[in-house]
Structure 1
Amino acid sequence: MDFAFDARTEELRGKLLAFMDEYVYPAEAVAEEQRAQLASPWETPAVVEELKAEARRQGLWNLFLPDSEYGAGLTNLQYAPLAEIMGRSPHIAPTVTNCAAPDTGNMEVLTQFGDEQQRKQWLEPLLAGEIRSAFAMTEPDVASSDATNITTHIERDGDEYVVTGRKWYISGAMHPDCKIFIVMGKTDPEGSDIRRQQSMILVPRDTPGVTIKRAMQVFGYEDHSHGGHAEVIFDHARVPASNLIGEEGGGFAIAQARLGPGRIHHCMRLIGMAERAIELMCRRAVSRTAFGKALAQQGVVHNWIADARVTVEQLRLLVLKTAWLMDTVGNRGAHTEIQSIKIATPRAVVDILDRAIQLHGAGGVSQDFPLAELYAAARTLMIADGPDEVHQRSLARRELKRYV
């Protein structure tokens, strides 16, 4: 394994680092000020739209997509250090570079499984940043950690499918530019193979029978960067049969293909969040005095900073190894490593952010520093894309198979 950055990665890293310093970090406070003046908290602040245009002008656009026909054509290993940089400002940088979830996963689904018409109608405007999208999988009435529990029905009726169900924490659904849902439901609820019961279908947001019932908060935050999270009702929403993605019964496999890259992207960005936390810790430690000496001279602070640095270096190597394996042997061959980083990274970054908050005292839980919002985002990722315990169960079973 060779994790040295190639020439293209170095070039993009340099451009992205400069873009962050010149545009993104200064825009964080401006975006919050502008959002307070908007008619709806889900509207995009003007500064974010300006940065999207600048990022596209600089070629910092759709970096996540390995398909060179539609995206930057980068490998996972090339994209990893770029996603880490964007993770330092996770509520702005991914959005302005068109690398924000859930749109990234939805674009990947349409690229891999969508037909020509679906790609033209929905993928192209998503790639251009003209619309947003949502992925409707999680449900409030079942344990969605087991996707086979999903109860939403997708029933064939002539040349149409009828979608009925209740979803929640549907990322992106509150954004006024969200025009399309990718909905996972059951087309064959009585099928003998529980992993062939589900399908995925495209449901335009303005379809009769689709209702955005309410916004869902995350630790009290609205999470504007993802276009919010919503509870959504599908009440006999009818769409053309041609809106089915792939084949009936292919939904579970599509979900797994979507979630693999999503999990590593989250972990890449989490490392950037941890780096931001370490930077804030160090700046705070050298600028504050308690009990007659700088915080930087307190032994416990030394331990926090040293442990954080060691942890980040370990995590980065594991994420890079995972990216390398995904590039060389595919997502299935990297299954163990994908699960390992999904378990280890959010936990460790939550701990680092917790120490950074502690070091900042009251400021750490305030809106004057990004730490509380970063903590909420990192803690959520211990649940999102499959809770830790599900990945632990699967990983342990794989290990035990060698001994049974």
Structure 2
Amino acid sequence: MDLGISDRVRPLRDAVRQMVREEIMPLDVEYHHEVGKHPDGRFAFTDRQNEIREGLKAKARERGLWNFWLTDSERGYGLSTVEYAYLAEEMGWCTLAAEVFNCSAPDTGNMEVLERYGAQEHKDEWLGDLLEGKIRSAFLMTEPDVASSDATNLEFSAVKDGDEWVFNGEKYWSSGAGDPRCAVYILMARTAPRDGDVPRHSQHSMFAIPANLPGVTVLRAMEVFGNDDAPHGHMHIRFENVRVPASALLLGEGRGFEVSQGRLGPGRIHHCMRSVGQAERALELMCKRSVSRTAFGRPLAKLGANYDIIAECRIKIEQSRLLCLKAAWMMDDCIAKGGDLRPAQPWISQIKVAAPNMALHVIDEAMQMHGGVGVSQDTPLAAMYAGMRTLRFADGPDAVHRMQVARKELRGYTNQSVK
């Protein structure tokens, strides 16, 4: 099991690191400072934001730093998941970085869905522009009126009517739907009645649909600790008798869970890789603060338990990085053996719990070291904390992933399946 940096990815890692820290991070605060709103409830970019974002993307493309996430694919570099991990960690250092390299969520997962499960018409309409970074996308799964951590609860309705499907219902926490460039929704809907003979995990289907259809209303942007996360946006959306062609269906009726698991597995690891980068940046900020500020006649680093705190943060980061790399290796191993990712799932669940919690701990300690400024707009720590706290819900909450890990662990101690 080789978890080290390969000769192939080392120069890419160095190039990404240099661009993130020297060119993207200095513009990240300015980029997120100002944003307007469209009449339809979505956000709007200023001319300066467009200039910053598109200028950085052009530089990345010119340098060949683009679409790294296309692991095990002839379209990209053909990197392994382990190799991509080192690049994603560097992109985690600031919010804008992943998009600059066209490696940001939810687009990466949605592009994987379109490439793997989409018909040619889906690829022709959206995949090319997504790979070029010309449009954005959103993934619509969570609903306001059911416990969406158990996706078999989803009640958003898709009813077949001739050569069309008719959608009714609401989705929220639809990340990316607030972006004015969002052109396509990947949406999960119930296509079989709950009380029928269809098995629970075959009652839902996945669709690819245009974002601005008649009957689609963006109700509001969901806020995280009072912040609407503009210009990305986690939108609350209502569908009222929205008609889409039968061809919008992905893979087949009743196969929504198959599509979602194929999408969410890699996406969970990508999030965790970036979490390690967030924690590294928080620790750097903490250390710089601890040696540059003095209280009671001594540097902050030498007060209280700060030595222990800094050491503990370093240990937790290293532990999480290694677990993330092992989960990535398990995915690569499954792909090499035919593509069945089930053996990797317990490892993906482990890191999905461990990485955001680790990053939260490090960010919280960095805030404490900074005092009041640590929760203000004068450092990136507050935004980082909000993002990491949200990640403990995204792509499955901690409790669900712990349940999966425990079930796998207990199978070796019982003669019957533990459910």
- The reply to whether TM is greater than 0.5 is yes
Cα 1:191–1:205 shift into 2, 3 Å: farther
Q: For each residue in 1:264-299, what CA deviation from the matched residue of structure 2 results, as whole angstroms up to 9, or x when unmatched? A: 101000000000000000000011111111102124
- Is 1:211 equivalent to 2:217 in the alignment? yes
Amino acid of the residue matched to residue 270 of structure 1?
S
Q: For each residue in 1:326-347, what CA deviation from the matched residue of structure 2 results, as whole angstroms up to 9, or x when unmatched? A: 0012422211110110111111
Task: Determine if contact 1:137/1:183 at 8 Å carries over to the other structure.
Answer: yes
Amino acid of the residue matched to residue 192 of structure 1?
V
Q: Determine which of 90, 114, 118 is the counterpart of 1:114.
A: 118
Provide the residue aligned with 1:172 in structure 2.
176
Q: Determine which of 381, 389, 402 is the counterpart of 2:391.
A: 381
SS for the counterpart of 1:156 is strand
Task: Determine if contact 1:169/1:229 at 8 Å carries over to the other structure.
Answer: yes
SS for the counterpart of 1:207 is coil
> Alpha-carbon deviation of 1:370?
0.3
- Is 1:133 equivalent to 2:137 in the alignment? yes
Which TM-score applies when normalising by structure 1?
0.96
Q: Give the 5 Å matches for 1:4-403.
A: 4-33=4-33, 35=34, 41-43=43-45, 45=49, 46-89=51-94, 91-189=95-193, 190-224=196-230, 227-330=232-335, 331-403=341-413
CA root-mean-square deviation = 1.5
Q: For each residue in 1:179-217, what CA deviation from the matched residue of structure 2 results, as whole angstroms up to 9, or x when unmatched? A: 111110011123431000000112211211111111111
> Alpha-carbon deviation of 1:254?
0.7
Identity of aligned residues (%): 49
> Alpha-carbon deviation of 1:42?
4.1
Unaligned 5+ segments in structure 2 are 336-340, 415-419
Q: For each residue in 1:315-360, what CA deviation from the matched residue of structure 2 results, as whole angstroms up to 9, or x when unmatched? A: 1111111111100124222111101101111111111111110110
Separation in 1, partners of 2:283, 2:408: 35
Separation in 2, partners of 1:4, 1:263: 21
Task: Determine if contact 2:72/2:80 at 8 Å carries over to the other structure.
Answer: no
Unaligned 5+ segments in structure 1 are none
SS for the counterpart of 1:170 is strand
Cα 1:38–1:47 shift into 2, 3 Å: farther
Which TM-score applies when normalising by structure 2?
0.93
SS for the counterpart of 1:111 is helix
Paired positions, count = 401
Provide the residue aligned with 2:338 in structure 1.
none
Amino acid of the residue matched to residue 326 of structure 1?
M
Amino acid of the residue matched to residue 140 of structure 2?
A
> Alpha-carbon deviation of 1:4?
2.1
Task: Determine if contact 1:191/1:197 at 8 Å carries over to the other structure.
Answer: no
Separation in 2, partners of 1:140, 1:78: 37
Amino acid of the residue matched to residue 231 of structure 1?
H
